[in-house]
């Protein structure tokens, strides 16, 4: 199964990018044993529309267009469900066992997700009730994907 991170905005060079790249590299090295590929980082530009609703809708359409034929989208959203790391790993395994070709995780722009993307998603998750910068959310998502891989493979990285 291929994993993808869909994000509004571009991650710039610097320590955040280096940390994201470190987790991406770890995922690439260890995910193959579980037949997991990626995660592909698909970045789209922030909308320049004047109002928040128009920006959300434009960004949603852009993210949807980037998914191709991959309808399994999980939104990272402040109103999503909290999962612990083992439950997140189980979710990835369930999707893989169900034959999902690509599982995408969508990070919206500063104004959130548009209605079209919400309608296409099958689940909403969140990183707790704190508000996180979008650059950090990418890193945290990459780390949780890596952690899920280690849980599924029995590696001791995760400790309960």
CATH of the domain at 149: 3.40.1280.10
* Summary mean pLDDT of the chain: 91
Question: What tens digit of pLDDT does each residue of 14-26 get?
Answer: 999 999 999 999 9
Which residues form the domain of 73?
2-153
Question: What tens digit of pLDDT does each residue of 59-79 get?
Answer: 999 989 888 766 799 999 989
Q: Would you state the pLDDT for residue 4?
A: 93
User: Is residue 17 a part of any domain in this protein?
Assistant: yes
| Average pLDDT of span 33-48 | 90
Q: Rounded CA gap, 29 and 95, in Å?
A: 21
Alpha helices, DSSP H, located in the chain: 15-31, 52-66, 85-97, 115-120, 134-153
DSSP conformation class of 46: P
Q: Is the pLDDT of residue 5 over 90?
A: yes
Q: Would you state the pLDDT for residue 70?
A: 65
Q: What is the CB-side half-sphere exposure of residue 50 using CA atoms within 13 A?
A: 0
Sheet holding 2-8, edge to edge: 37-44, 2-8, 102-107, 72-81, 121-125
Q: Rounded CA gap, 8 and 4, in Å?
A: 13
| Higher pLDDT pick, 68 / 100 | 100
User: Is residue 160 a part of any domain in this protein?
Assistant: no
Q: Say what angle helices 85-97 and 134-153 make with each other, to 10 degrees.
A: 70
Number of domains in the chain: 1
| Average pLDDT of span 34-60 | 91
Question: What tens digit of pLDDT does each residue of 118-153 get?
Answer: 999 999 999 988 888 888 999 999 999 999 999 999
| Average pLDDT of span 99-107 | 94
User: Is residue 158 a part of any domain in this protein?
Assistant: no
Q: Rounded CA gap, 84 and 79, in Å?
A: 16
């Amino acid at each position: 199964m291929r994993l993808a991170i869909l994000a509004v905005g571009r991650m710039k060079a610097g320590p955040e990018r280096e940390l994201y790249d470190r987790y991406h590299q770890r995922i690439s090295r260890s995910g193959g044993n579980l037949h997991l590929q990626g995660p592909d980082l698909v970045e789209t530009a922030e909308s320049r529309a004047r109002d928040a609703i128009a920006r959300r809708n434009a960004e949603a359409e852009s993210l949807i267009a980037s998914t191709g034929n991959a309808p399994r989208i999980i939104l990272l959203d402040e109103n999503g469900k909290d999962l612990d790391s083992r439950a997140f790993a189980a979710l990835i395994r369930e999707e893989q066992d169900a034959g999902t070709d690509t599982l995408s995780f969508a990070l919206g722009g500063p104004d959130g997700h548009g209605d079209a993307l919400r309608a296409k998603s099958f689940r909403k998750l969140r990183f707790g009730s704190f508000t996180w910068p979008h650059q950090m959310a990418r890193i945290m998502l990459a780390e949780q994907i890596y952690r899920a891989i280690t849980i599924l493979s029995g590696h001791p990285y995760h400790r309960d």
